[in-house]
Structure formats: structure tokens, C-alpha cells
């Protein structure tokens, strides 16, 4: 397998991973632990994907409310 083909496959795998992360509500640390890779790898690939594909823009997860934010206190 050529390096270019392997790199393209890795990019596609990471795009799918990042989409799963963006669609969820877990932290980066929780996601990486579940998926089996490091937090630095997550951020490295996120930067790489953004530089390779500027149209790949993650949603701003900081504005989302925590799922428990609307629940009354116990």
C-alpha cells in the first residue's frame, strides 16, 4: 500500500471519529479513553484535518448545555 493511500485512509478514519465526537456529549478525555487513543493524538488529528479540509468545521460544543443543566436539584 502506498503512503498516500494509507494517509488518505487514516484521514477518513479520523474524520469519522471526529464526527462521532462532535455528535456526542462526552469530554475529549472520555472519548479518547473509550476509543483507545491519546488526547494529544485527538488534537493533532483535529488540526491536521482542518488544515487538509477547511470545509470540515467542528460545531462549537462550548455553547451546548450540559444534559443535566435543566434538571431540578436533588
Q: Is residue 8 part of a domain?
A: yes
Burial of 2 (0-12, 13-18, 19+ CB in 10 A): exposed
Report CA 57 to chain centroid distance, whole Å.
11
Answer yes or no: is 37 within a domain: yes
The count of structural domains within the chain is 1
Whole-number pLDDT of residue 62: 57
State the pLDDT at residue 56: 85
Q: Let me know if residue 31 belongs to a domain.
A: yes
In a domain, 27, yes or no: yes
More confident residue, 52 or 66: 52
pLDDT of residue 44: 97
User: Could you report the per-residue pLDDT of 23-63, keeping only the tens digit for each?
Assistant: 999 999 999 999 999 999 999 999 999 999 888 877 776 55
For residue 73, the model assigns a pLDDT of: 58
Domain that holds residue 49: 3-57
Amino acid at each position: 500500500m502506498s503512503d498516500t493511500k494509507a494517509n488518505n485512509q487514516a484521514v477518513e478514519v479520523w474524520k469519522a471519529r471526529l464526527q462521532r465526537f462532535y455528535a456526542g456529549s462526552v469530554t475529549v478525555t472520555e472519548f479518547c479513553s473509550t476509543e483507545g487513543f491519546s488526547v494529544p493524538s485527538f488534537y493533532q488529528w483535529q488540526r491536521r484535518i482542518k488544515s487538509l479540509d477547511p470545509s470540515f468545521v467542528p460545531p462549537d460544543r462550548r455553547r451546548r448545555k450540559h444534559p443535566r443543566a435543566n434538571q431540578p436539584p436533588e
